[in-house]
Structure 1
Amino acid sequence: MAAGGRSSGRPAKKKGPSKGAGGQRRRGLEGKGATPPAEMRHWYKDKARTERIAREERGGQRRPAAPRQRRSDDAPEYIGGRNPVLEALQAGVPANALYVAQRIDNDDRVRDSIKIATERGIALLEATRDKLDRLTEQSVHQGVALQIPPYDYAHPAELVEIARDAAEVPLIVALDGVTDPRNLGAIARSATAFGAHGLMIPSRRSAGVTGGAWKTSAGTLATLRVARSANLTAALREYRDAGLFVIGLDGEGRTDIGDVGLLSEPLVIVVGSEGKGLSRLVREHCDVVARIPMSSAAESLNAGVAAGVALYEVARHRRR
């Protein structure tokens, strides 16, 4: 026995194996991996904004919009997008307010829009991107939206008066069944470029002067008047009684638009829908139904393109 030691007189008890943790402690120390970045955490307050910006950078892809509710005639419209908003302000489009997103990355277009709006006394309002999504009905707004008042439509007879006041041969474009506001905006742009005195649309089953039409028109709707009639065929009869000829555009027409002998006369050019063309009643009220010659590989032209081609032919003949 070692010095100073004491013995109880009983043999030392041999220590046996103890119960382990079964590897649970080791796995627990491994943790759950790297900490996820902020935007991947479900509580991250700007997660929706980050996802929205990523969609815009991928080309404006957004979740499908809910079915559009019919707007009342006195409801305001909204133009979204930095270029369309700036073009509208530069063209003098009437506007009530300019909405700008919070923490927006300013560029020259945003700064110029704010400057013009301030000079014109248009209200400047800060808005969340969620609100801008709602106002523009999920279209790509790039953080800016312009609120415009409901359009003040003219009477169909006013378009003839505009031409006569300018001492010019009347040229009016009527739309039959064109329901896409982007087509209306494109037609307005071509009508302005080739000297038309206005557009005439029916009040039912037709696109109106909405934010989409303003956006596509690149501001030309600020100077081109749009009239609306409750009955398109009745309005065409009144135009004929006033001395205007009516030319309908349709792929089934027998005469090429360039060969129509009335292009230098007072005219109403009627553009039908891309799918159905001219309706039967409208066709019956046309003096001539003309077609645009094209390759057989193309079945039809977009209504906006067809109107542009026809208006160019009219302008070319009148310059002679």
Structure 2
Amino acid sequence: MSEEVVAGRHPVLEAVRSGRTIHKIIYSADSQGIGPVLAEARAAGIVTQQVDKRKLDQAAVGVRHQGIVAMVAERAYAELDDLFAAAEASGEPPLFVLLDEIEDPHNLGSILRTVDCAGAHGVIVPKRRSAGLTATVAKTSAGAIEHVPVVRVTNLAQTIDELKERGVWIAGADGSAPQDVYAADMKIPLGIVIGNEGHGLGRLVRERCDFLVKVPMFGRINSLNASVAASLLLYEAVRQRRAAAPAAAGRGKNG
């Protein structure tokens, strides 16, 4: 059976709360703040084992584990239908994030955290040249990886075509876009595409976008970190949707 590690207090706690299959949790006795995590794990019937710090370091190589590591079943990727189901359950138009070859696991983890906080309905990544759902991603996401559905597709451009057929508009983030994100309609069923950290959107993906948007820049550096750009675009969509909600509710009451 394939197994992964989840390291750190918040990621392990969210893994426990999500109901994900956890084979065992190992921890160090002198670690601070893990008592509540262990209590919830034991209440859920999960095996916990005290070990020395060296074993924790070996289990979570390169990840700051904070004295606790969970051995979990390999995380299953979602399907596109899962994202649409999440949007339908929320009663809101779909709001997805598509990542065009985001390779830094810290960027992916940060984006997952923002997607969860903003109430977006899921993330779509390509199988090739893209960060996967690793322990580093889980740690950076602060546990959001347990709650955000992630779809892994063979061809992102073809997936965009499918999304458009299902009524989703595609907005590409691009520094040379003719309009600021604040001037774009982000209330519609929407997929926001964030490009690679180095070269941005790929040609085929860019050509399939219904429109391009940018975050206005006023300093000497003309680009933002991918996860920061995703956050700004997502929260502009949140702002517009919240502003539109009272008007929509009012129309419903008046028939």
Give the TM-score category using the shorter length.
0.7 to 0.9
Secondary structure at 2:34's aligned position in 1?
Answer: helix
Q: Secondary structure at 1:96's aligned position in 2?
A: strand
| Aligned counterparts of 1:252 and 1:121: Cα–Cα separation in 2 | 53
1:77 matched to 2:20: no
Give the number of the structure whose alpha-carbon radius of gyration is greater. 1
CA distance in 2, matches of 1:195, 1:110: 28
Which residue, out of 128, 140, 146, partners 1:204?
Answer: 128
Q: Distance in 1 between matches of 2:31 and 2:215?
A: 45
* Residue in 2 that maps onto 1:116: 40
1:265 aligned residue:
188
Structure 2: state its 5+ residue gaps.
Answer: 244-255
Residue among 147, 154, 176 paired with 1:223: 147
Establish whether residue 169 from structure 1 lines up as the match of residue 93 from structure 2: yes
TM-score normalised by structure 2 residue count: 0.87
Question: Aligned runs of 1:97-176 on 2, under 5 Å?
Answer: 97-101=24-28, 104-107=29-32, 109-176=33-100
Q: Residue 94 of structure 1: CA displacement?
A: 4.5
Q: Which residue in the other structure is 1:281 paired with? A: 204
Contact 1:79/1:214 (<8 A) preserved: yes
Give yes or no for contact 2:20–2:73 (8 Å, CA) kept in 1: no
Amino acid at match of 2:5: Y
What is the rounded CA distance, in whole Å, between the counterparts of 1:225 and 1:81 in structure 2?
21
User: Aligned partner of 1:100: which letter?
Assistant: Y
TM superposition score normalised by structure 1: 0.71
Greater CA drift, 245-254 or 218-227: 218-227
**Which residue number corresponds to residue 182 of structure 1?**
106
SS of corresponding position for 1:265: coil
- Give ranges in structure 1 of 5+ residues lacking alignment: 1-73
TM-superposition CA deviations, 1:150-175 (whole Å, max 9, x none): 11111123312321243321111111
Paired positions, count: 243
Q: Share of identical aligned residues, percent?
A: 38
Match of 1:293 in 2: 216
Moved over 4 A (4+): 90-94
CA apart distance, 1:113: 1.8
1-structure distance, mates of 2:68, 2:221: 38
Asked if 2 retains the 8 angstrom alpha-carbon contact of 1:129 and 1:143, the reply is yes
Structure with higher helix content = 2
- Which of residues 22, 27, 32 is equivalent to 1:95? 22
Q: Which has the higher contact order (CA 8 A, sep 6+)?
A: 2
Going from structure 1 to structure 2, the CA distance change for 1:90 and 1:158 (only over 3 Å counts) comes to closer
| Shift, 1:193, TM fit | 1.8
